[in-house]
Chain A
Amino acid sequence: MALRQTDPLPTATARRRTGPTRARHRPGGSRWNRFDRAVSPYAYVSPFLVIFAVFGLFPLLYTAWVALHDWSLLKGDQGFVGLDNFRTLLSDGNFWNAAFNTASIGVLSAVPQLLLALWLAHLLNRPLKAQTFYRITLLLPNVTSVVAVVVIFSQLFGRDYGLINMVLTHLGAGRVDWQAGTASSHVAIALMIIWRWTGYNALIYLAAMQAVPRELYEAATIDGASRLKQLRSITVPMIKPTLLFTMIVSTIGSMQIMAEPMLFGAQVGPAAIATGGAGRKFQTLSLYLYELGFRNFDFGYASAAAWLMLLLVMVAVGVNFLLARRMKGGLS
């Protein structure tokens, strides 16, 4: 499933800068031209909107309908129940536990991931030997299939013979049963996500940085500004729309984390695959949806959970957006 989602909200700055082109000279003003200007924008956005309406909106609305029913995946519709599913959800400890885990893993993974990506992009954003090599290796974690990720990380985080525990034991810190605790499991999963997505974000930043006029850096260098200072005072402000973009995409991506906790749970045992460990220590919202829908076959309740989750995602993105704007104000 697509792990990364999209969402484009033009920021205030972006909007200002980007603002729709208002042709000052309206040449000709032929009828065709006017028609073209009026209609073609809709024509250009419609392929996206139409295809999305069919394959994205329909499932969503259908899910909303299902959420109002007692609906078993296997037995089908067992009758209309109104908002009962939602009412149950509000007092469902497992749902809120999953919401907490999702937020925690999201913050633990997104913040270091984006900072690291920014720094790497900054390092790469200069004439360097072997540029191509570095850029391609940065993407390797993202190319690697999930099967490989499972094997590698189960070895790293193994309780008895894992590489990390071997090092910890060596340092006298003792072994960690990574899947058993809340903090340890969240850190481990965050590390997997950071490993997988940092290079991806770094490349996106890099593409944006390439568009920043070189002269700005040259002038700053002449003024004696350090590279770190240049990053803060030139690069970051100049690529703000991209930063905001990745922040929002990462927020949404974090809300949808499923594969990692699922695979991590498989290390605990098959019963723990859908529950995020034996004690639901790292069950995310997406994984809880999976448990409800595909393990318990409780399609109606799962649909309600999906909608409540959507609401939470919107809140998270909104908070993020406000934070980002504030940060931006401070920076510019």
Chain B
Amino acid sequence: MTGLRARGSLPHRLTHLTLIGVAFFSAFPIYWSVIVASQDNGAMAEVPPPMVPGGNLLANIAKVFDTAPFALALLNSLIVAGSITLSVVFFSTLAGFAFAKLRFRGRTLLLGLTVGTMMIPTQLGIIPLYMLMIKLHWTGTLYAVIAPALVNAFGVFFMTQYLSRALPTELLEAARVDGCGNWRLFWHVVAPVARPAAAVLGMLTFMTAWNDYFWPLVVLTPDDPTVQVALSALASGYVQDFSLGLAGTAVATLPLVLVFALLGKRIIGGIMQGAVKG
């Protein structure tokens, strides 16, 4: 990409400087996790704490896999976060399309309801939800984690807002003139336009699902955990073994960072493409 303005200009440099500063603050914790994960537990009590990695990283990671069913946990989290992401993105785009561009009775009401649902404090729903899972015989299974997260109002709202702006009404009308039904309209016109927002939503959903903690902890057993549940077992005990805990965190986080690093270009490509189309 070539800059619109002279590359070396002062504002341009300031921009980079600012962004590098922000990147530093954002990335520091990850760096910090690696430092702690590569030390032995006692090092954390030192003041000032160590600032460069030690030599125990691999040993700690090996211990992580030894202590908890971590490989299984990674696989489970992949399944959970993956299916939630696909489902949320698909259903949100679908509903977003309907709310943003289709006309039907009760639309405002239903949309308002959708917004309303999001204000519900989640903590207290846990017991009734848990009882429901018992009835469905889903406790201890991944269904219990996936099912309630298959849709969320955030996604619907997000897509509604995006499509209402990014999807040109003329485009829809032109397609209609060509005899497109709503379903084909969705696939051939809406979905391509929605892609950039879908990429962002997918990324955020995947992350949230991956890092979800409280509900999986209640409903799953440590024998068949997600990554966060396995992590909680790792850091358990009054002797908080931070090195072990953060080695586990590193193992749990790096796949996420890798995925973003690899897909980042594509996601951003999608955003750019959306910009052109919008």
| Chains A and B share a contact (CB less than 8 Å) | yes
Q: Which residues of A contact B (CB under 8 A)?
A: 1-10, 14, 17-25, 27-28, 32-33, 36-38, 40-42, 44-45, 47-49, 51-52, 54-60, 62-63, 66, 73, 120, 123-124, 126-149, 151-152, 155, 161, 195, 199-200, 203-204, 206-208, 210-211, 214, 227, 241-242, 245, 248-249, 252, 255-256, 258-259, 285-286, 289-290, 293, 299, 302-303, 305-306, 309-310, 313-314, 317
With a cutoff of 8 Å between Cβ atoms, the chain B residues found around residue A132 in the complex are 264-265, 268
The reply to whether B246 and A2 contact each other, CB–CB distance below 8 Å, is no
Does the CB pair A48–B151 fall under 8 Å? Answer: yes
Most B CB within 10 A of own CB, among A27, A32, A48:
A48
Q: Which of A6, A195, A258 is B123 in contact with, Cβ under 8 Å?
A: A258
| Cross-chain contact of B181 among A36, A51, A306, A309 (Cβ < 8 A) | A36
Q: Using Cβ atoms and an 8 Å threshold, which residues of chain B touch A63? A: 124-125, 128
B153 touches A241 (CB 8 A): no
7 further A-B contacts with Cβ under 8 Å, apart from A44-B95, A199-B26, A299-B127, are: A128-B16, A129-B1, A129-B16, A130-B16, A144-B33, A148-B249, A314-B116
B204 interfacial by beta-carbon distance below 8 Å: yes
The contact size tier of chain B is: 35 or more
With contacts A17-B164, A42-B104, A285-B121 known, is A48 near B95, CB below 8 A?
A: yes
| Interchain CB contact under 8 A, A140 and B30 | yes
The 28 sampled A-B contact pairs (Cβ below 8 Å) are A1-B212, A6-B155, A8-B153, A8-B158, A17-B164, A17-B165, A20-B103, A23-B176, A37-B103, A44-B95, A45-B95, A45-B99, A49-B114, A52-B117, A57-B117, A126-B3, A128-B16, A134-B22, A134-B23, A135-B268, A139-B260, A143-B257, A146-B213, A151-B44, A245-B158, A249-B157, A259-B213, A303-B124
Known contacts: A6-B114, A148-B249. The answer to whether A161 contacts B29 by CB under 8 A is: no
Digitize B1-30: 1 where CB-to-A-CB distance is under 8 Å, 0 elsewhere.
111100000010001101100110111011
A147-B249, A207-B271 are known contacts. Are A227 and B11 too (CB-CB below 8 A)?
yes
Given contacts A6-B118, A45-B99, A139-B260, contact A127 B3 (CB under 8 A): yes
Chain B positions within 8 Å of A144 at CB level: 29-30, 33, 249, 253
| A133 and B85 alpha carbons, distance in the complex (Å) | 23
A198 to chain B, nearest CB (A): 8
Given the complex, which residues of B lie within 8 Å of A25, measured CB to CB?
Answer: 173, 176-177
CB proximity of A95 to chain B, nearest CB, Å: 13
Contact check: which of A1, A32, A127, A133 meets B213 at CB < 8 Å?
A1
Q: Is the C-beta of B228 less than 8 angstroms from some C-beta in chain A?
A: yes
Q: Is the CB of A200 within 8 A of B204?
A: yes
**Contact indicator B123/A314 (Cβ below 8 Å):** no
Determine the chain B residues whose CB is within 8 A of the CB of A145 once the complex forms. 211, 228, 231, 249, 252-253
Known A-B contacts A8-B153, A23-B173; the reply to A302 vs B124 at CB < 8 A is: yes
Contact A1 B207 (CB under 8 A): no
Is A59 a contact partner of B104 (Cβ separation < 8 A)?
no
Q: Does B119 contact A (CB under 8 A)?
A: yes
A139 to B29, CA, bound (A): 12
For B26, B127, B179, B196, which residue has the most chain A Cβ atoms within 10 angstroms?
B26
A241 and B164 in contact, given A47-B94, A140-B30 (Cβ under 8 angstroms): yes
A33 close to B123 (CB less than 8 A): no
Distance between Cα atoms of A56 and B150 in the complex (Å): 11
Q: Chain A residues with Cβ under 8 A from B274's Cβ?
A: 207, 210-211
Contact of A136 with B29 in the complex, beta carbons under 8 Å: no
Given known A-B contacts A47-B91, A138-B22, A144-B30, A306 and B208 have beta carbons under 8 A apart: no
CB neighbours of A227 from chain B (8 A)? 11
Tell me which of A17, A51, A293 contacts B151 (CB under 8 A): A51
Q: Are A52 and B151 in contact (CB under 8 A)?
A: yes
For residue B111, CB closer than 8 A to chain A, the reply is yes
Q: Are A139 and B114 in contact (CB under 8 A)?
A: no
CA of A67 to CA of B47, assembled, Å: 49
Residue in A18, A36, A135, A199 whose CB lies within 8 Å of B165: A18
For residue B237, give the distance in angstroms from its CB to the closest CB of chain A: 13
Q: B49 at the A/B interface (Cβ < 8 Å)?
A: yes
Evaluate contact between B122 and A27: CB separation under 8 angstroms. Answer: no
Q: A123 and B18: CB pair below 8 A?
A: yes
| CB of B65 within 8 Å of the partner chain | no
With A48-B91, A58-B132, A210-B271 in contact, is A140–B29 under 8 Å at CB?
Answer: yes
Q: How far is the CA of A281 from the CA of B149 in the complex (A)?
A: 33
Give the complex CA separation of A258 and B113 in angstroms. Answer: 25
10 residue pairs, one from A and one from B, having the closest CB atoms: A8-B157, A6-B154, A18-B164, A20-B103, A7-B115, A59-B125, A5-B118, A6-B153, A211-B278, A210-B275
Bound form: Cα–Cα A317–B157 in Å = 15
Q: Tell whether, in the assembled complex, residue A141 and residue B173 are in contact, meaning their CB atoms are under 8 Å apart.
A: no
Within 8 A of A (CB), among B243-265: 245-246, 248-249, 252-253, 256-257, 260-261, 264-265
Interface residues of B in 101-139 (CB under 8 A from A): 101-104, 107-108, 110-129, 131-132
